[in-house]
Amino acid sequence: MSGQAHNTDSQAETGQQERKELRAYGWGIGLALLLTVVPFGLVQWMAMPRFTLLIVIGAFALVQMLVHFRCFLHIGLRQKREDLQLILFSALLLTIMVAGTIWIMASLATRMAMPGSP
Amino acid sequence: MSIAALFDHPLGRLQWSSLPFWDMLQHPTKGNIINGVIATGAASLVVVGAIALVLVLTRYKLWRPLWSDWVTSPDHKKIGIMYIVIALVMLARALIEAVLMRAQQAFGLGGGFLSPDHFAQLFSTHGTIMIFFMAMPFLTGVINYVMPLQIGARDVSFPVLNSISLGLTAAGAALVMVSLVIGKFSTGGWFGYPPYTEANFSPGVGPDYWIWALSLAGLGATLTGINFAVTIYRERAPGMTLMRMPLFTWTALCTAIIMIFAMPPLTVATAQLALDRYLGFHYFTNDLGGNMMNFANLFWLFGHPEVYILILPAFGVYSETISTFSGKALFGYRSLVMATMVIALLSFTVWLHHFFTMGQDANINAVFGIASMLIGIPTGVKIYDWMWTMFRGRVRLTVPMIYALGFIVLFVLGGMSGILLANPTIDYQVHNTVFLVAHFHNVAVPGVLFGMLSAYHFWFPKAFGFRLNERWGMISALCWIFGFIGAFFPLYALGLMGLPRRTVAYTEARYVPLEWVAFLGALLILAALLALLWQLWVSIRDRDGNRVFVGDPWAGRSLEWSTSAPPPEYNYAVIPVVEDRDTFTRAKEQGRAYQRPDTYVDIELPGNSAMGPAIAAIGFALAFGLVWHIWWLVILAFLAAIASMIVRGFARDTTRIVSAQQVRQEHHRWIDAVAAATAVSRADECKSVNVGLALQEADGVVP
Amino acid sequence: MSPQAAMYQVNKYPGLNLGPGHGQDDEAAATVMFGFWVFLMSDAILFGMVFATYVTSLHGTAGGPGPHDLYDIKSIFIETMLLLASSFTFGMASLALKYKHGRIRLVSWMVVTLVLGIGFLGFELHDFSSMFAHGGVPSRSGFLSAFFDLVPLHGLHVTAGCIWLICLLGQIGRYGLDLKTKLGIMRLALFWHFLDIVWIAIFSVVYLGGLT
């Protein structure tokens, strides 16, 4: 698309772009560290009741996955959307399949009085 | 385990008793002899067929062309044809098994002639083959052949991967065929529920054959799905927006998406069953915390979307044939696209209706029952759209259209029985009876199989350059339709009368008359298959009188008809520019078809690759070694698989160039043929004057 | 050039990309990267199903050892840090490739990633062997079967990633940074980051969830 005339321009642009991406990786590793260390710490020193703890771990995990998608895999909202759509569609199916499985199997476990059923 | 220990049993579990006639010779009772003769006959057919094939290939020096023109070819058209060949061979085997089963049941009052084990093998292989090695290869083959042509592409996105997928499917099919000769196939049905298929209850090789055949086919299907979806997203010709794609391509896209997401649960289920059997894990065992209900859940998480993998491409085919042979644009294109997408999504929300009776909460049953019934809505939309397409159209009753009409009538009935079964309270009454068998054959045969046969007749002239014999096609189609009615409608009644599915024998005399009707129906279906084969033979014999090199024998509407028949390996000399839906019809109306471009350019094509056949051989060796516990073979094949992928990674220069000069020559030869051809009216389309140039007739409805 | 065109020039396709500096190669990458994304999503479903099996088998310990008897949080923490660091170093390798910082820098980051990956596998194998020593063998119970389906499946993926990385180093040595090598590195980057995301789910659901 751009001819020789744009070369210097695009070189400056490229440098800027690179710094931006580097920053993204930096943010990514920083946030990921934080989001990893906190739940590990909570579990190690048992700061709260089990159910709350599970919710917190789950929430931290979800946020950390988003951070990885954003900072490491560069999935954003503003580009061409096809892979975001792909990921969201996959997430929807994954949720249907996993949640459905757990729902069905938990119900079976309860009704059949299997060991450890709630 | 030391290395020497690997060779303690160099043939693993293989023994003389693995051969089908062993029992008959050791214990020559009447029952053993009958079963032994049938099994040996089937095994001999496989062996004789294989030997005959080798002899013919050697006699006519066809090994080299077979290797360089076919098995190593990355051309999507050739891969498509090879898929369909596999499908037809497997169809013949599974259909003969079906006839045997119906015969057994016709004589089944108080006994019959087959042993329960033999009968169980028959229904297990019949189901496994029909789903994984007939329907799947057939639709994959048709999509492979047609879809890239319809979107104006040169090939699929990953041609060598395509060849690998074919190799994996072929290896799985070969494994099922080998199980006829050596050892016995599973007796656990096509969904192989544990704990029956666990090592405790089925210690033989049967379930292992089943596991590895499915694993190979499943992996192949996953890769195919990825390939198709990416192709449709990325390789469309300029101007071919999503909403201008022919409906068959739309259904191919939805099928591909389902393949991508529905195959993994199957892989998990079969892998876990294999771990249970081989390494003593406890996923589905009765003891030590295993839970066999997990398997049912996982299997149907795959199994239900699989149903839509099968049916959607058939819907696409009917959309094409009905529109073409009615001489009208498809009615309600947008609603058909929406319905296809809705079906694809809903297919992931209904899997529990395959095990309503397993014991979960009634509320869960209700949710999944309602979701199952919902699928009737988009399917109904489609049926109405097809009927409106025919309404006031100039309908021509050609063979593909006969299949389509048979489909519409019969599929609605099958769908209705499906809505009945979607109601858990009714399902509780008839579950595990032949009512269910009648239902799913009623959607699978008129739906999937008729669709594929319709596609076979519709696109055959495009693929081979000559039309199929119309008379024998008609005979075959009518035999299929009436044979189907005879074979399966009695099963509805038998199911309501209480006949359980998969019963080798029964004691109720009142079942006998209907069983005989079903048996006669099955014989009629066998006649249909023979007519189909005879039609192929007659058509090849008379091919010179039926050539359609110009490429448009049916006044086609989409891009694939705008190139020669058979198309050149690069599909289009110049990539077409699409300006409308039904783009070829518009081009013909506006006089833009068959143009001679000013310039031609070099075309880059993928080069041949031995990866496909190599992976096929490795996959087969790996699976065979695993089935028979031949550990050295397993290790070798595993290392070979890794090595082949690494070597492929280091391969460079994997493309070749077709020169502009050659493209020009071939294209001009075709355009000259177009100019020399006489256009025929639709009244003459099945006569030998039809060389593939359609007379321009006004498109649209009859006034 | 319109702003839209400028943005399009920067990113021909979403997510990790080779960038306009690579001209024709960037075009070729678009299809391959999209295809690999689709494959990863299929793989994600595979993992999802194995996760579902694990969660539904939690109570199937059949009197055998459970999470508290077997999991070692320190070792898991180290593994997590190693994998996270390797994700970052692969990111640096991607940048070195995209902005053409030369082969040495690229290869060095890749080697660091490989070492971290192998370190992760080493700790994981050590975990498994200590579990075995405590009676935590897969044939002991449904729960342990499910555990040894899920965690080693991820480990096998990492192993495959390491082998792939070594092969890519070989290809760089043999052919330099030609199109096919670049595409390989790009896809492995996706694969590596994806495996790190799966690991988040594993340490949260299996280990932290099991140890609460």
DSSP line for B442-504 = HHIIIIIIHHHHHHHHHHHHHHHSBPPPHHHHHHHHHHHHHHHHHHHHHHHHHHHTTPBTT-S
Share of chain C above pLDDT 90, in %: 76
Of A96, A107, A115, the CB nearest to B361: A107
Q: Decide if B637 is inside a domain.
A: no
B211 in any annotated domain: yes
Q: How far is B439 from B419, CA to CA, in rounded Å?
A: 10
Residue contact B293–A105, C-beta within 8 A: yes
Which residues 99-128 of chain C have a CB within 8 Å of chain A? 99
Collapsed DSSP state (helix, strand, coil) of residue B75? coil
Match 């220069």 to its residue by tokens.
B653
B346: left (phi over 0), alpha (psi -120 to 50) or beta: alpha
**Which residues in chain B have their CB less than 8 angstroms from residue C148's CB?**
281
Q: How close is the nearest chain B Cα to the Cα of C98, in Å?
A: 21
Q: Confirm if C177 and C27 have CB atoms less than 8 A apart.
A: no
Distance between CA atoms of residues B83 and B142, nearest Å? 8
> In this structure, is residue B444 part of a structural domain?
yes
A86 touches chain B (CB under 8 A): no
Asked if C88 lies within 8 A of A98 by C-beta distance, the reply is: no
- How much is the pLDDT for C4? 39
Helices and strands in chain A, H and E counts: 3, 0
Query: How far apart, in whole angstroms, are the C-alpha atoms of residue B159 and residue B77?
Result: 11
CB-nearest partner of A111 from B294, B298, B361:
B361
Kindly determine whether residue A25 and residue C95, on different chains, have CB atoms separated by under 8 Å: yes
Helix (H) or strand (E) holding B603: strand B603-606
Q: Is residue B28 situated within a structural domain?
A: no
CB contact under 8 A, A108 and B233: no
**Per-residue pLDDT for C8 more than 70?**
no
- Within 8 A of A98 by CB-CB distance, chain B residues are none
Do C197 and A82 lie within an 8 Å CB cutoff?
A: no
Which C-chain residues 133-192 have CB contacts (< 8 A) with chain A?
190
Crossing angle of the two packed helices B376-390 and B399-421, in degrees rounded to 10: 150
| Chain A residues whose beta carbon lies within 8 Å of the beta carbon of residue B352 | 100, 104
Q: Is A68 on the interface with C (CB under 8 A)?
A: yes
Considering the domain boundaries, does residue B473 fall inside one? yes
Residues 6+ apart with CB under 8 A from B382: B315, B336, B339, B340
Polymer length in residues for chain A: 118
- Verify whether the Cβ–Cβ distance A82 to C34 is below 8 Å: yes
Q: Which domain holds residue B665?
A: 62-609+654-684
What is residue C1's predicted lDDT score, i.e. its pLDDT? Answer: 35
E strands within B285-324?
A: none
* C87 to chain A: closest CA residue: A72
Shortest alpha-carbon distance between residue B290 and chain C (Å): 5
Query: In total, how many domains does chain B have?
Result: 1
Q: Is C30 on the interface with A (CB under 8 A)?
A: no
Q: C31, C32, C49, C177: which to substitute to probe chain B, counting the most B Cβ within 10 Å?
A: C49
User: How far does A87 lie from chain B, in Å, by closest CA?
Assistant: 12
The pLDDT value recorded for residue C13 is: 64
H or E stretch covering B264: helix B247-279
User: What distance in Å separates residue B269's CA from the closest CA in chain C?
Assistant: 9
Q: Which residues of C touch B263 (CB under 8 A)?
A: 42
Q: Which chain B residue has the Cα nearest residue C38?
A: B226
- The pLDDT value recorded for residue B105 is 94
CB proximity A73 to B under 8 Å: no
Nearest chain C residue to A53, by CA: C212
Put simply, whether A93 touches B (Cβ < 8 Å) is yes
Chains near C (3 or more Cβ pairs under 8 Å) = A, B
CA distance C190 to chain A (A): 7
Contacting residues of C for A86, CB less than 8 Å apart = 37-38, 41
- What's the pLDDT at A5? 46
d(CA B368, CA B370): 5
pLDDT tier for residue A3 given thresholds of 50, 70 and 90: very low
Contact (CB<8Å) C42/B222:
yes
Residue-wise pLDDT for A57-96, tens only, equals: 999 999 999 999 999 988 877 666 677 888 999 999 999 9
Contact residues, chain B, for C138 at CB < 8 Å? 275, 279-281
A24 min Cα distance to partner chain C (Å): 10
> Is residue C110 within 8 Å of C93, Cβ to Cβ?
yes
Q: Say if B643 falls within a structural domain.
A: no
Residue of A nearest to B258 (CA): A93
B391: domain CATH number? 1.20.210.10
**Residues of B in Cβ contact (< 8 Å) with A97:** 265, 301, 348
By CA distance, what is C171's nearest residue in B?
B650
Chain C residues at the B interface, defined by Cβ less than 8 Å, are: 30-31, 34-35, 38-39, 41-43, 45-46, 48-50, 53, 56-57, 59-62, 64, 138-146, 148-149, 163, 167-168, 170-171, 174-175, 178, 180, 184
Report if residue B621 sits inside a domain. Answer: no
Q: Would you say residue C210 has pLDDT above 80?
A: yes
In order of B420, B576, B655, B666, B674, the CA distances from B661 in angstroms are 62, 19, 18, 9, 20
Q: Do A74 and C16 touch (CB under 8 A)?
A: yes
pLDDT on residue B26: 86
CB contact under 8 A, A25 and C212: no
Name the amino acid, one letter, at B413: L
Looking at beta carbons, which residues of chain B come within 8 Å of A83? Answer: none
Residues of B in contact with C170 (CB under 8 A): 650
- The beta-carbon neighbor of A29 closest among C1, C21, C84 is C84
Give the pLDDT means over successive 10-residue stretches in chain B (703 positions). Answer: 73 84 85 88 90 94 93 95 97 96 94 92 96 97 97 95 96 95 92 93 94 96 96 94 96 96 96 95 91 95 96 97 94 96 95 94 95 95 96 93 97 95 94 95 96 97 96 97 97 95 93 96 97 96 94 94 94 93 92 90 93 96 95 96 94 90 95 93 90 81 61
- Pick the residue of C53, C56, C188 with the most A CBs within 10 A to test the interface with A by mutation: C56
Greatest alpha-carbon span in chain A: 76
Contact of A55 with chain C, judged by CB distance below 8 Å, is answered with no
DSSP string, C86-149: HHHHHHHHHHHHHTT--HHHHHHHHHHHHHHHHHHHHHHHHHHHHHHHTT--GGG-HHHHHHHH
